[in-house]
Amino acid sequence: MAKRPTKRGLDDPTGRIRDAITGGSFFPNERLVEEDLVQRFKANRGAVRLALARLEQEGLVVREPNRGARVRLVSEKEAIEITEARAMLESLLARHAALRATQQDIDNLREILRELEGLIENGDMVGYVAANMRFHSTIVDIADHATGARLLLGLRTQSVVLQYRQILQPGRVATVMREHEELVRVLASKNPDAAERTMRSHWDDMATALKARLQRSSC
């Protein structure tokens, strides 16, 4: 029998607001009105204020005197730095995942790939970003590397990809899908060197795309 959520869990909307931000329900610089959050997440005002304070500490929210809270806008320079850091961490975790992946793990990843293909066909880029992050999170879970997972959580790359999703032009999306498919292939073959190399290349390409965008905007 499934466990019933505790009263504390129901009263604390931090995770639900976090998921709404990283999942694209709220956009960079969007105001987070306390009364709206109270109604949306069925929480009291005190719990919402505490949640916003926690999310400010995590770097997802900015609170300003007399202006309330808003979703933090990630600068292009910071986005590049986060992506470069992600490249190092995820390549390490991909190596561990290659050594631990079961057939069920590989099947789960292939199912997410099919979902990504459908989202691309429908032009649903917000859904694509969410599924893409779930793909990467699944690899993190497979790796079972607690320290690496904790460091990744602090990077909040979901917000970076969502905010700068305009770099995911049709040609780039096709490239990303090929990289994902290759990554699943090398994970299935239990080749840790290839998994680390493929994941590093995948994130390095994202950093390159972000740098190109920064150069265009500065011209």
Tens-place pLDDT, residues 129-178: 788 889 999 999 999 999 999 898 777 655 565 555 555 666 778 888 99
Q: What pLDDT is stored for residue 166 in this prediction?
A: 54
Percent of the chain with pLDDT over 90: 51
Model confidence at 53, in pLDDT bands (50, 70, 90)? very high
**Burial zone of 106 (CB within 10 Å; 0-12 exposed, 13-18 middle, 19+ buried):** middle
pLDDT at 9 over 50: no
Q: Pick from 27, 42, 71: which residue ends a domain?
A: 71
The alpha carbon dihedral of 186, 192, 193, 198 has a sign of positive
Q: Closest Cα partner for 34 from 11, 73, 58, 67?
A: 67
pLDDT at 216 over 80: no
Question: Are 129 and 60 members of one domain?
Answer: no
- Could you give phi then psi for residue 61, rounded to 5 degrees? -130, 145
Model confidence at 60, in pLDDT bands (50, 70, 90)? confident
- Mean pLDDT, residues 92-121: 97
Q: What pLDDT is stored for residue 182 in this prediction?
A: 97
- Mean pLDDT, residues 179-208: 94
Question: Are 134 and 211 members of one domain?
Answer: yes
Name the residue range of residue 46's domain: 7-71
**Burial zone of 25 (CB within 10 Å; 0-12 exposed, 13-18 middle, 19+ buried):** middle
**CA–CA separation, 157 vs 137, rounded Å?**
11
Question: Are 36 and 116 members of one domain?
Answer: no
Looking at per-residue pLDDT, the higher value among 210 and 166 belongs to 210
| 2 occurs within a structural domain | no
pLDDT at 217 over 80: no
Q: Pick from 71, 99, 127: which residue ends a domain?
A: 71
Cα→Cα distances 96→28, 90, 111, 153, 195, Å: 33, 10, 21, 17, 9
| Helical ranges in 3-121 per DSSP H | 7-11, 14-22, 34-41, 45-57, 76-100, 103-121
Q: Pick from 56, 71, 86: which residue ends a domain?
A: 71
**CA–CA separation, 34 vs 52, rounded Å?**
9
- Mean pLDDT, residues 8-28: 77
Question: Are 161 and 198 members of one domain?
Answer: yes
Question: Are 148 and 203 members of one domain?
Answer: yes
Task: State in Å, rounded, how far the first CA of the chain is from the last one.
Answer: 60
Q: What pLDDT is stored for residue 3 in this prediction?
A: 40
Mean pLDDT of the residues in the chain: 85
pLDDT at 112 over 70: yes
